[in-house]
Structure 1
Amino acid sequence: MRNVYFVRHGETVWNVENKICGATESALTERGREQARVIGREIKARMDAGELQIDRMLCSPLSRARDTAQEIADILKLPLAIEPRLREQNFGIWEGTARDGEGFQRAKENFIDSFGTGESMLRLAQRIYNLLDDVRADADHTYLLVAHNGISRMVESYFRDMDNGEFASFGIRNAALRTYCYPEEA
């Protein structure tokens, strides 16, 4: 079985302020940069121990993910490519508002809503699922994807069934590594 790895970007200014970043830029904090270096060293140690193999890295074009990915790539000595499909979901009218706001939590359960000026969950699913299909088709490489919490939710849903509530509440912490395994071809 083949794996793909996922890391969420390090802590940002808006994470600290409990704001929804979405497609809006929010810089890494110094703690976020250190989180990126820590996860980079952890991945390198696991690679050196033969526990995992990564030979390609793709990241979101947004600076918080790109800067996290660059810190990791420098440690791993791996090539890094910007992948536009890893850009965080545009949460439209909710960007810059409280991440734990009741209205936003309910809105995330409506997969067709574009949040006024943003991107619907269904359109996000299309681009992330297409990307994961492309990664799977590249049998010669094993990828580390560096992106965002909204993207992590969609990646998780690609590999396991979730109901709407599970999907809406799923998330991973900053600079966390997750491993996903593509099922064997039938």
Structure 2
Amino acid sequence: MHQVYFVRHGETVWNVENKICGATESPLTERGREQARAIGRELRARMDAGELKLDRMLCSPLSRARDTAEEIANILELPLAVDVRLREQNFGKWEGTARDGEGFQRAKENFIDSFGGGESMMRVAQRIYNLLDELREEKETSYLLVAHNGISRIVESYFRDMENEEFASFGIRNAALRAYSFPEGV
């Protein structure tokens, strides 16, 4: 079965401060670095046990994802490449504001809005769907993608149908792993 795996970056300073990072740089905390090493060790153990196969890694160019990916790649001894398509969505005027703010939660349900100078959900989906379409064609290669929470919702929507509200509220924890299978015969 042809699969792709996704890991969200480790905890950042702005995660701790409950701020929207988006395209803004926010460094990993020491806890975030340990989360990256822990998921790397878990993946290594699963690879050694034959439970999963990973050939290559791709990551976002933003430092929090790149640093997480480098920690994992060192443990897995896998090639790592930066792919700019995995960068987090630019949330424009919302960056640096409270993640759980009511206005932002509603704004995420408007897929065409560029958030006052940012990037619309539809544009983010275009670049992520294009990347996943390319990876789907590489049937012999299994990838680990290391990116962001906003990117996780786009990846999730590629593999399963979601209602708008579910899509807008979807997210995964820092350093969490998700596995996805491309449909057979595609």
What is the TM-score when the length of structure 2 is the normalising length?
0.99
In structure 2, C-alpha distance between the alignment counterparts of 1:135 and 1:18, rounded to whole Å:
33
What residue number does 2:184 align with? 184
Residue of structure 2 in register with 1:28 after alignment: 28
Q: 1:83 & 1:93 partners in 2: Cα distance?
A: 25
> What amino acid is the match of 2:22?
G
Instruction: Indicate the residue corresponding to 1:103 in structure 2.
Output: 103
Structure 2 residue identity aligned to 1:134:
E
Letter in 2 for 1:182: F
1:53 aligns with 2:48: no
Q: Measure, in 2, the Cα distance between the counterparts of 1:107 and 1:135.
A: 30
* 1:74 CA drift (Å): 0.1
CA deviation digits over 1:76-122, x for unaligned, max 9? 00010000000000000000000000000000000000001000000
Conserved 8 A contact 2:2-2:140:
no
- Residue matched to 1:72: 72
Task: Give unpaired runs (5+ residues) of structure 1.
Answer: none
**Matches of 2:185 and 2:112, distance apart in 1:** 31
Q: CA deviation at 1:175?
A: 0.2
Written as runs of structure 1 = structure 2, the 5 A alignment for 1:95-174 is 95-174=95-174
Q: Is the 8 A contact 2:19 2:96 kept in 1?
A: yes
Measure the CA separation in 2 of the matches of 1:51 and 1:183.
Answer: 19
Alpha-carbon distance, 1:180 to partner: 0.3
Q: Normalising by structure 1, report the TM-score.
A: 0.99
Name structure 2 gaps, 5 residues minimum: none
Question: Cα offset for 1:164?
Answer: 0.6
> Percent identity between the aligned chains?
82
Match of 2:83 in 1: 83
Q: 1:18 — aligned with what? A: 18
CA-CA distance at 1:139 after TM superposition: 1.9
1:140: how far off?
A: 2.6
Q: In angstroms, what is the RMSD of aligned CA positions? A: 0.6
For the residues of structure 1 that align with 2:140 and 2:80, how far apart are their CA atoms?
Answer: 16
> What SS does the aligned partner of 1:25 have?
coil
Runs of 4+ with >6 A deviation: none
